[in-house]
């Protein structure tokens, strides 16, 4: 009976049983990561879902979050892709240092980022005071401040992803373009960018996800004004005090967004970019 | 030992100017490509003068690591010179001494890279149109001219195919069209046939030869395959360890190799001829029976080791037997290379024992024999 024999062979295939000393903490770790999410899903007021989602407060926060995260993502792409290109393609002194500095916001506590933004762009900040004096522009506590805070925290994700894709892409294609008469800009636009498009897409998705979930820098730099700076994460935090069910529903929405990002990242085109260098091969 | 081995290993023209070799060199007015390539890079130094007149094809033949690709990159501007100069038609492209460097995009040179480097996200038509678009030609006009070139290289049916959907031979043709569509004055070919399997290579080589014949500019072809060099080039420069060790007409270099590398690689019996089935009438005189029937213009090649020498006309299986006079013999490792004048002239590698048995000396008459199945036939 080939069927049953192959099945038993398959069951034996993993070899000796892994030691309990590793298996038990592994299982605990898995539970630790997944059980809170399970609790969120289990305790959600499924019956009232529609009512909570259509409440003005939730709608406002959701709209603001989508708008500000999208705007922040656009800022990150417009500034981050060229920055990644310079880091990957232009040799200069101190490049390793700059590369390290770019990733600081990745590890910096977001609250600290918010404070730093206040000190630069706040009404009495290094640049902010001139913005106020010359243009009458005050950035903090506006939707624009939300975008700035989110972009500050999210841009390193994009730069790291795009730079990785650029470094994985064969620069000889760019030499080929140059030898065919293409300027560096034409080469970038018509050869480099299309070849690292999967990396840019992956970076954009990661960047958007990070911007959508931003809390610390936003509340520090932009504050908490309904409809202006109160994004989803801030709304969740506040609702927990007054209307826990609404907090759970908003959390579910953010969870769903995260899952959507994961699915996008596991998609073939994005996964290829993250694991090694776009379509260059 | 007749003949003897020339001692000079330096740069030099093998044949006298009267043999037409000089016509391949750039004239004093500077027409064509003049390249004095000096590139120091780590422990490696390239030091080679390569001049090519318009309409001529110079093959740079050498082993891996000899600096062939570096030479090509230096002419294209992808690797800056550290010394020397590159100029075309009197226009300086690179001269570190006076601080002139024209970037690759502004040189009237086009390169066919070893692995083609076709843009994977563009179809064949857009790949070929790329250089025109980059130089400011309008989209419609660029596509029209690209389609024309794809038709010329026999790929009219594949304009919409991405490089990944094309065979190696087709990719090579797209790469050639992409280079030639911009009407370059200098064409640079980096191992253009190396990535192809043997069956495709002969066909693509014949096509390449046709396109090179119709190209008015100067061509530099880099290869490690002596057959490519012999068939495709008007002039040959052998590059070893970053230096030119021999240069001249391919046939002359093959018949009078100055280094062991050239002797081993370029020591090839190669003839042009017209095939009619199993027989090829050679331009150099005589006729060769070949293993694979062919028609029309062909090259016939066989290695010196495939040639047997006899004092008296041999009987039996060898299909090709002709008379020749010994004009030289040189020791090359375990064998002796004997040069015969005849119809056709031929190189034969025999053992020292066989040489002793035959008691051969310069001026002696011997019979050369080659089996038909030891010969290769290539379309010309």
Task: Using alpha carbons, list the distances in angstroms from residue B281 to A253, B203, B230.
Answer: 83, 21, 19
Q: Which of A89-103, A105-119, A202-216, B338-352 has the lowest mean pLDDT?
A: B338-352
Burial of A263 (0-12, 13-18, 19+ CB in 10 A): exposed
As a whole number, mean pLDDT of residues B194-214 equals: 86
Is residue B317 within 8 A of residue B305, CB to CB? The reply is no
Is residue A229 within 8 A of residue A221, CB to CB? The reply is no
**Per-residue confidence band for B47, with pLDDT thresholds at 50, 70 and 90:** very high
The Cα B105–Cα A181 span in angstroms is 4
- A194·B76 Cβ contact <8 A: no
Residue tagged 């030869």 (tokens): B209
**Per-residue confidence band for B318, with pLDDT thresholds at 50, 70 and 90:** low
Q: Which of A12-26, B30-44, B286-300 has the lowest mean pLDDT?
A: A12-26
Which residue spans of chain B are classified as CATH 2.40.50.100? 270-379
Q: Does this complex have an ipTM over 0.85?
A: no
Show Cβ contacts of residue A240 under 8 Å, excluding neighbours closer than 6 positions.
Answer: A247
- Chain A CA closest to residue B178: A180
As a whole number, mean pLDDT of residues A143-172 equals: 94
pLDDT at A279 over 90: no
pLDDT tens-digit map of A19-77: 889 999 999 999 999 999 999 999 888 888 888 888 888 888 989 999 999 999 999 99
B108 contacts chain A (CB < 8 A): no
Q: What is the predicted pLDDT for the residue at B43?
A: 81
As a whole number, mean pLDDT of residues B257-286 equals: 81
pLDDT at B316 over 90: no
As a whole number, mean pLDDT of residues B219-238 equals: 89
pLDDT at B157 over 90: yes
Q: What is the predicted pLDDT for the residue at A236?
A: 92
Q: Which of residues 145-174 of A touch B (CB under 8 A)?
A: 170, 172-173
Beta bridge partners of B57: B219
As a whole number, mean pLDDT of residues A7-25 equals: 72
Burial of A108 (0-12, 13-18, 19+ CB in 10 A): middle
Contact list, A175 vs chain B (CB under 8 Å): 78, 104, 117
Q: Which of A226-235, B14-23, B78-87 has the lowest mean pLDDT?
A: B14-23
The Cα B89–Cα B339 span in angstroms is 40
The Cα B348–Cα B351 span in angstroms is 10
Q: Strands across the sheet with B269-282, in order? A: B269-282, B287-302, B376-379
Show Cβ contacts of residue A93 under 8 Å, excluding neighbours closer than 6 positions.
Answer: none
Q: Which of residues 44-103 of B touch A (CB under 8 A)?
A: 76-78, 103
Candidates A64, A61, A79; CA nearest to A251 is A61
pLDDT at B4 over 60: no
Domain B270-379 has CATH 2.40.50.100: yes
Contact list, A191 vs chain B (CB under 8 Å): 119
Burial of A226 (0-12, 13-18, 19+ CB in 10 A): middle
pLDDT at B10 over 70: no
Mean pLDDT over the full length of chain B: 85
More confident residue, B8 or A205: A205
List, in sequence order, every beta strand (DSSP E) within chain A. Answer: none
CA distance B103 to chain A (A): 8
As a whole number, mean pLDDT of residues A157-177 equals: 94
**Per-residue confidence band for A5, with pLDDT thresholds at 50, 70 and 90:** very low
What number of residues does chain A have?
A: 281
Q: What is the predicted pLDDT for the residue at B284?
A: 82
Candidates A270, A76, A280, A19; CA nearest to A174 is A280
The Cα B375–Cα B278 span in angstroms is 11
- B113·A183 Cβ contact <8 A: no
Q: What is the predicted pLDDT for the residue at B74?
A: 95
The Cα A206–Cα A210 span in angstroms is 6
As a whole number, mean pLDDT of residues B357-378 equals: 86
pLDDT tens-digit map of A119-130: 999 888 899 889
- A186·B178 Cβ contact <8 A: no
Q: What is the predicted pLDDT for the residue at B215?
A: 93
- B78·A195 Cβ contact <8 A: no
Q: What is the predicted pLDDT for the residue at B360?
A: 81
Which residue spans of chain B are classified as CATH 3.40.50.300? 17-108+184-267
Query: What percent of chain A is modeled with pLDDT above 90?
Result: 62
- Give the containing element (helix H, strand E) for B277: strand B269-282
3-state SS, B296-327, equals: EEEEEEECHHHCEEECCCCCCCCCEEEEEEEE
CA distance B127 to chain A (A): 10
Contact list, A197 vs chain B (CB under 8 Å): 121
- B113·A172 Cβ contact <8 A: yes
pLDDT at B24 over 80: no
Is residue B18 within 8 A of residue B9, CB to CB? The reply is no
pLDDT at A6 over 50: no
pLDDT tens-digit map of A219-255: 999 999 988 999 999 999 999 888 888 899 989 989 9
- Chain B CA closest to residue A279: B120
Q: What is the predicted pLDDT for the residue at A76?
A: 97
Spell out the domains of chain A, with CATH numbers in brackets: 48-276 (1.10.3720.10)
Q: Which of B13-17, B201-205, B296-300, B354-358 has the lowest mean pLDDT?
A: B13-17
B184 contacts chain A (CB < 8 A): no
Q: What is the predicted pLDDT for the residue at A267?
A: 66
- A279·B121 Cβ contact <8 A: yes
- A280·B134 Cβ contact <8 A: no
What SS3 class is residue B210? Answer: helix
Is residue A113 within 8 A of residue A149, CB to CB? The reply is yes
pLDDT tens-digit map of B93-123: 999 999 999 999 999 999 999 999 999 999 9
- Indicate the pTM of the whole model: 0.75
A23 token code pair: 């298996």
pLDDT at A277 over 90: no
- Chain B CA closest to residue A193: B121
pLDDT at B182 over 60: yes
A and B: number of Cβ contacts within 8 A: 64
As a whole number, mean pLDDT of residues A169-177 equals: 94
A279 contacts chain B (CB < 8 A): yes
As a whole number, mean pLDDT of residues A112-124 equals: 93
Candidates A64, A156, A159, A79; CA nearest to A113 is A156
- Residues B276, B279, B283, B284, Cα dihedral to 10°: 180
Beta bridge partners of B330: B337
The Cα A161–Cα A209 span in angstroms is 14
**Per-residue confidence band for A200, with pLDDT thresholds at 50, 70 and 90:** very high
Show Cβ contacts of residue B29 under 8 Å, excluding neighbours closer than 6 positions.
Answer: B90
Query: Beta B57-61 vs B235-240: how paired, if at all?
Result: parallel
Q: What is the predicted pLDDT for the residue at B16?
A: 33
Q: Which of A220-229, B126-135, B311-320 has the lowest mean pLDDT?
A: B311-320
- A181·B182 Cβ contact <8 A: yes
- Chain A CA closest to residue B130: A180
- B134·A186 Cβ contact <8 A: yes
Alpha helices per DSSP H over A44-142: 49-53, 56-89, 95-102, 104-107, 110-121, 128-130
B233 token code pair: 């080039």
CATH numeric code, B17-108+184-267: 3.40.50.300
**Per-residue confidence band for A271, with pLDDT thresholds at 50, 70 and 90:** low
Q: What is the predicted pLDDT for the residue at B343?
A: 86
Q: What is the predicted pLDDT for the residue at B118?
A: 96
Contact list, A170 vs chain B (CB under 8 Å): 117
pLDDT at B262 over 80: no
Q: What is the predicted pLDDT for the residue at A142?
A: 93
The Cα A51–Cα B306 span in angstroms is 91
The Cα A260–Cα A208 span in angstroms is 11
More confident residue, A71 or A270: A71
As a whole number, mean pLDDT of residues A180-204 equals: 93
Mean pLDDT over the full length of chain A: 87
């Amino acid at each position: 009976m080939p069927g049953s024999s192959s099945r038993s062979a398959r069951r034996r295939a993993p070899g000796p049983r892994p030691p309990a000393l590793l298996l038990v903490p592994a299982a605990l770790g898995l539970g630790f990561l997944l059980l809170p999410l399970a609790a969120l899903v289990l305790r959600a007021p499924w019956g009232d879902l529609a009512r909570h989602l259509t409440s003005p407060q939730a709608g406002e926060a959701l709209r603001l979050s989508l708008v500000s995260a999208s705007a922040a993502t656009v800022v990150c792409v417009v500034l981050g892709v060229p920055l990644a290109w310079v880091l990957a393609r232009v040799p200069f002194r101190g490049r390793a240092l700059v590369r390290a500095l770019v990733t600081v916001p990745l590890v910096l506590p977001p609250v600290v980022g918010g404070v730093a933004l206040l000190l630069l762009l706040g009404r009495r900040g290094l640049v902010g005071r001139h913005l106020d004096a010359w243009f009458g522009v005050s950035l903090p506590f506006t939707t624009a401040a939300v975008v700035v805070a989110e972009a500050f925290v999210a841009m390193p994700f994009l730069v790291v992803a795009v730079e990785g894709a650029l470094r994985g892409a064969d620069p000889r294609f760019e030499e080929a373009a140059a030898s065919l008469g293409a300027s560096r800009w034409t080469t970038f636009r018509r050869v480099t960018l299309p070849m690292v498009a999967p990396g840019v897409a992956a970076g954009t998705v990661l960047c958007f996800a990070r911007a959508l979930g931003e809390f610390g820098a936003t509340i520090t730099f932009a504050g908490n004004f309904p409809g202006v700076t109160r994004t989803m994460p801030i709304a969740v935090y506040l609702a927990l005090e007054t209307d826990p069910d609404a907090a759970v529903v908003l959390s579910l929405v953010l969870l769903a967004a995260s899952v959507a990002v994961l699915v996008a990242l596991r998609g073939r085109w994005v996964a290829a970019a993250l694991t090694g260098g776009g379509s260059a091969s | 030992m007749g003949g003897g081995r020339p001692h000079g290993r330096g740069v030099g023209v093998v044949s006298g100017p009267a043999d037409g070799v000089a016509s391949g060199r750039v004239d004093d007015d500077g027409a064509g490509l003049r390249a004095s390539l000096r590139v120091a890079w780590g422990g490696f130094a390239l030091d080679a003068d390569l001049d090519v007149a318009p309409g001529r094809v110079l093959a740079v033949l050498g082993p891996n690591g000899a600096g062939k690709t570096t030479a090509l990159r230096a002419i294209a501007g992808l690797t800056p010179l550290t010394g020397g100069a590159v100029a075309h038609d009197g226009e300086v492209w690179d001269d570190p001494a006076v601080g002139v460097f024209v970037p690759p995009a502004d040189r009237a040179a086009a390169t066919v890279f070893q692995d083609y480097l076709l843009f994977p996200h563009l179809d064949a038509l857009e790949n070929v149109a790329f250089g025109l678009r980059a130089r400011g030609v309008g989209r419609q006009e660029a596509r029209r001219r690209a389609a024309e070139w794809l038709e010329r290289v026999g790929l009219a049916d594949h304009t919409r195919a991405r490089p990944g959907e094309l065979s190696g031979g087709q990719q090579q043709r797209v790469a050639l069209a992409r280079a030639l569509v911009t009407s370059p004055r200098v064409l640079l070919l980096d191992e253009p046939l190396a990535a192809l399997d043997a069956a495709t290579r002969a066909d693509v080589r014949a096509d390449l030869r046709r396109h090179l014949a119709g190209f008015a500019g100067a061509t530099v072809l880099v290869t490690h395959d002596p057959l490519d060099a012999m068939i495709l080039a008007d002039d040959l420069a052998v590059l070893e360890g970053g230096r030119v060790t021999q240069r001249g007409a391919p046939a002359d270099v093959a018949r009078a190799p100055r280094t062991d590398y050239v002797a081993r690689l370029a020591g090839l019996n190669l003839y042009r001829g017209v095939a009619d089935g199993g027989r090829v009438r050679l331009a150099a005189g005589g006729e060769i029976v070949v293993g694979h029937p062919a028609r029309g213009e062909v090259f016939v090649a066989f290695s010196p080791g495939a040639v047997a020498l006899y004092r008296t006309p041999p009987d039996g299986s060898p299909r090709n037997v002709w008379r020749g006079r010994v004009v030289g013999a040189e020791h090359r490792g375990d064998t002796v290379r004997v040069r015969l004048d005849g119809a056709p002239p031929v190189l034969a590698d025999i053992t020292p024992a066989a040489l002793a048995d035959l008691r051969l000396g310069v001026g002696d008459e011997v019979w050369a024999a080659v089996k038909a199945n030891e010969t290769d036939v290539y379309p010309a």
